[in-house]
Structure 1
Amino acid sequence: MSTEVRVPTLGESVTEATVATWFKKPGDAVAVDEMLCELETDKVTVEVAASAAGTMESIIAAEGETVGVDALLATIDTGAGAASAPAAKSATPEAAPTASKPASEPTTSVDVMVPTLGESVTEATVSTWFKKVGDTVVQDEMLCELETDKVSVEVSAPASGVLSEILAPEGTTVDAKAKLAVIGGSGASSAAPAAAAATAPAATAGKSIEDAPSAKKLMAENNLSEGSVQGTGRDGRVMKDDVQKALASASAVTAPSAAAAPRAPSVPDDASREERVKMTRLRQTIARRLKESQNTAAMLTTYNEVDMTEVMALRNEYKDLFLKKHGVKLGFMSFFTKACCHALKEIPEVNAEIDGTDVVYKNFVHMGIAAGTPTGLVVPVIRDADAMSFAEIEKAIAEKGARARDGKLSMAEMQGGTFTISNGGVYGSLMSSPILNPPQAGILGMHKIQDRPMAINGQVVIRPMMYLALSYDHRIVDGKGAVTFLVRVKEALEDPRRLLMDL
């Protein structure tokens, strides 16, 4: 029989952890309370011990994988075969190699299942297989990559062997409990040594660190060899950004020679100059949700402008001291987050949502900060932003932004927002109308800070100005409330002391 090894309670408000290190592998004998693996959370490191003695049967969550509370990490075989494992270890030297060999190799087929996808995620699409049927695989080696609505999930081999069957080919949509493939143990015992011997020189010359699946896919598409790209990830792992930089460098080198070569005449053919690429699940979800927002909400946008003189002066005066004390840079987003939280208290309908025939008012602010990533727009949520200090907000924005760019945000980190801020100004946008992030009733659009002539006390002066846009659901937010909200944001930014006085 098998005993499940699950994620223990991580602590109050901690909902997920990352598998840092496995101290055992399938086939190893384990004793009760022996250390199996180590988990890392945002604050602490958690050790996971064996709850029963036996033999490590399979590892479900590989190193580097993010898991939720009570998620299945591994299974321990506590049957009769497991009980004899310790005895095999104490056999005579002559018998030791024979006795220990089967313990490290699977003797039956092992199913490759869809890993934990995250709260409320029920399906994923198989985007890329890195192995084909008949290939020898090593435990924890990357087999395929799945795409969900928000993130990409890497699937590792739960055991060593031969990939005997692929049940979900590329492009297949699978549910959260689906079987993806089968790793055969019988073929592994005979094929693995020959394959290892044939590939020994290549393995020695290469590296054992598995590159990011997105990087491997990009290298394959551009015919780049594994050793031609310098990795900057952990332990030299090649990331997608590394491949993109290598391609950019190659383009810069070959551009002059390509430009000098005469271009052969060709018959105009539009079809030959087009490229058809299937939309990712993330892009499909963005398209669907934005269109649903327009079709469902009575969306309207109102505009105002803010003089950024005081905020810029305050930031310039304290940015060095702020960085020295808090270890994070003082940006503009914390000022806007604070100003919006201040305005939402006065205009609560902007911080509400419609549920059937009810209006649900939120007595807290979970602030969504829209972030552009290479794969699309995501909105990580900073919870209870109204109770945070400037430093706490800046740290949260920096941490969420980095995780968004690396594609490491969990579904839980992008759910539950009550209001959203979108900063198109970082891309140079001067004016736009942001689309609501349903079911929220409001979203603030920030734009480029631009010096403009303004009439101040009868004189024309140059001031750093920014246009603000508030898109809102007119079903629950009236024009008066929307305009008042923007005015309060404007007042708080033009005189930041109002935030301290709660005015």
Structure 2
Amino acid sequence: MSTDIKAPTFPESVADGTIATWHKQVGEAVSRDEPLVDIETDKVVLEVVAPADGVLKEILKQEGDTVLSDEVVAVFEEGAAASASAPEKAAEPEQAPAAEGELKASPAARKMIDEQGLDASQIKATGKGGLITKEDVLNHKPAAAAASPAPAAAKSAAPAPSAAVDIPAGDRVEKRVPMTRLRARIAERLLDASQNTAMLTTFNEVNMQPVMELRSQYKELFEKTHNGTRLGFMGFFVKAACEALKRFPVVNASIDGGDVVYHGYQDVGVAVSTDKGLVVPVLRDADNMSLAQIEDKVREFGLRARDGKLGIEDMTGGTFTITNGGVFGSLISTPILNPPQTAILGMHKIQERPMAVNGKVEILPMMYLALSYDHRLLDGKDAVQFLVAIKDLLEDPARILLEV
């Protein structure tokens, strides 16, 4: 029985997607729930899996093609009978091109060969029946680039040997690849934020010793009580941010045209870095979450982001964002806004520094904090006082519990 493989239903905020990678080829046997194709949108990469055991019968949309919501991208043949017959059908077209002298390559490889003007006969094929795959083309590129200076040198050597340029072959290889939809969308949003907001950043520093001592004292008991959930720093920052947002609701607001929208809830986005780019999953109603729930959810977001399992619904909305450049060693930075939000908090590396305490010098674990905000809505007074409130809450964590 044939089944249409369709693109997922995109939300209203996503117009279309692009076929990123086909994990299976025509005639290849597939198990139920095995990934067939990745579809990249401007927010997330969506995975389409096999509905049952069977064979991929036909691919209707090739890598790089644009697809709409619920559009048919392939035809799938269910059942064991299809698994036996489909490869034979798929093998017949492979023999015909050889007889006619045509190119034997997968659709993705054929597209790359045409775009780059490569000689297919020089590419080593590793696919079934001598089929050139996308990986074959990628592996061929460095060799082609390294070999290209030789003919040029040979031509110039005959009339004028002294004209040869002493450049080691292969040392200046360039590679051009198209920007992914996700990276292009990130670039578009960042450029929009820098051009269409009056962004300003204020800085402060926080003594992390009280939080570190509290964490050290209760770390093992916390993990045992909450089924293995580890006590980190992000939970404290989210709780402190929620309390500060209640005190300064303008920081939690957003601009919609000529209106200011005040949100009576705190949906805090947590920036997560992935191989494909920065994503910001959202902690819904973070003010009602416990430290354990926050830590558990942040860890879940990190794992799902690494595996490409975040959904669009995980990253929509949000009234405030926290980003932690400290995990990469950043000492201080100016985070960029995540529109339509009007503020973003930047955490940084904890570093021991000599500080004056009651007239004496002490070595304390200090962290720089940065708050970038939209000056169209927030005045400097609100932004500075908001950041000071977070500092005070973190330097005396009991105030978070007491809400003072």
Name which of 230, 244, 258 aligns with 1:343: 244
The one-letter code of the counterpart of 1:274 is E
Determine whether 1:467 maps to 2:361. no
Aligned 1:11-410 pairs, distance under 5 A = 106=1, 110-117=3-10, 120-132=13-25, 135-138=27-30, 140=32, 142-158=35-51, 160=54, 163-164=57-58, 166-183=59-76, 192=85, 195=88, 267-268=167-168, 272-327=172-227, 328-410=229-311
Distance 1:195 1:321 in 2: 61
Q: Is the 8 A contact 1:119 1:412 kept in 2?
A: no
SS at match of 2:43: coil
State, as a whole percentage, how many aligned pairs show the same letter. 56
Higher RCO by CA contacts (8 Å cutoff, separation 6 or greater): 2
DSSP 3-state at the match of 2:9 = coil
Change (3 A) 1:269 1:173: farther
Deviation at 1:285, TM superposition (A): 1.2
- Correspondence 1:445 to 2:346: yes
Taking the aligned partners of 1:464 and 1:131, their CA distance within structure 2 comes to 51
Between 358-367 and 138-147, the greater mean CA deviation after superposition: 138-147
C-alpha distance in structure 2 between counterparts of 1:193 and 1:358, whole Å: 59
Shift of 1:181: 2.9
Give the letter aligned to residue 387 of structure 2: L
Aligned partner (choices 361, 372, 382) of residue 481 of structure 1: 382
Deviation at 1:469, TM superposition (A): 0.1
Alpha carbons 1:310, 1:495 under 8 Å: kept: yes
* 1:339-362 alpha-carbon deviations (Å, 9 max, x no partner): 111111111111000011110011
111 and 497 in structure 1: CA distance in 2 versus 1, 3 angstrom threshold:
closer
- Tell me if structure 2 keeps the 8 A contact 1:343–1:485: yes
User: Which amino acid is the alignment partner of residue 191 of structure 2?
Assistant: K
Shift of residue 321 of structure 1?
1.1
**Equivalent AA in structure 2 for residue 368 of structure 1:** G
Distance of 2:307 and 2:13 partners within structure 1: 22
Q: Is the 8 A contact 1:136 1:195 kept in 2?
A: no
| CA-to-aligned-CA distance 1:119-143 (integer Å, 9 cap, x gap) | 643311011234455x355564644
Q: Which shifted more, 410-419 or 493-502? A: 493-502
Structure 1 length-normalised TM: 0.60
Of 423, 433, 454, 2:334 maps to 433
For residue 434 of structure 1, give the secondary structure of its aligned residue in structure 2: coil
Q: Which runs of 5+ in 1 are unaligned?
A: 1-105, 199-222, 226-264
Task: Please give the per-residue CA displacement for 1:125-177, whole angstroms capped at 9, x wherever unaligned.
Answer: 011234455x355564644321122332233455745634x332211111113
* Equivalent-residue separation in structure 1 for 2:87 and 2:172 (angstroms): 45
Tell me the equivalent position of 1:498: 399
Distance of aligned partners of 1:269 and 1:355 in 2 relative to their CA distance in 1, 3 Å threshold? farther
The 1:364–1:161 alpha-carbon spacing in structure 2 relative to 1, beyond 3 Å, is closer
Amino acid corresponding to residue 163 of structure 1 in structure 2: K
Q: 1:190 to 1:224 in 2, by over 3 A?
A: closer
Aligned residues: 328
Show CA shifts across 1:81-139 (max 9, x none). xxxxxxxxxxxxxxxxxxxxxxxxx3xx6433213345643311011234455x35556
String of CA shifts for 1:260-309, please: whole Å, max 9, x gaps.
Answer: xxxxx983478951121222211111111111111111110000001111
Distance 1:126 1:341 in 2: 39
Going by fraction, where is helix more abundant, 1 or 2?
2
In structure 1, which of residues 397, 413, 416 is the aligned counterpart of residue 317 of structure 2?
416
TM value normalised by structure 2: 0.74
The CA distance in 1 between the partners of 2:87 and 2:285, in whole Å, is 58
2:29, 2:83 within 8 Å by CA — same for their partners in 1? no
Instruction: State the one-letter code of the partner of 1:492.
Output: L
How far the C-alpha of 1:366 sits from its partner, in A, is 0.3
Could you say if the C-alpha distance between residues 363 and 482 of structure 1 is closer, same or farther in structure 2, counting changes exceeding 3 Å?
same
Q: Which amino acid aligns with 2:72?
A: K
Cα distance between partner residues in 2 of 1:184 and 1:321: 53
Partner of 1:63: none
SS at match of 2:338: coil
Label 1:271 to 1:148 Cα distance change in 2 as closer, same or farther (>3 A): farther
Shift in Å at residue 467 of structure 1?
Answer: 0.3
What's the CA shift for 1:184? Answer: 7.4
Secondary structure of the equivalent of 1:460? strand
In the alignment, is the contact (CA less than 8 A) between 2:38 and 2:45 conserved in 1? yes
1:356-400 Cα shifts (integer Å, max 9, x gaps): 111001111001011111221111100111112212211221222
Aligned to 1:273, what secondary structure does the other structure show?
coil
SS where residue 115 of structure 1 aligns? coil
CA separation in 1, counterparts of 2:87 and 2:254?
Answer: 63
Paired position in structure 1 for 2:138? none
Report how far residue 445 of structure 1 moved: 0.2
Checking the alignment, whether the CA contact within 8 Å between 2:24 and 2:56 is kept in structure 1 is no
Q: Distance in 2 between matches of 1:344 and 1:170?
A: 45
- Whole-angstrom distance in 2 between the partners of 1:193 and 1:406: 31
Contact 1:117 1:153 in 2 (8 A): no
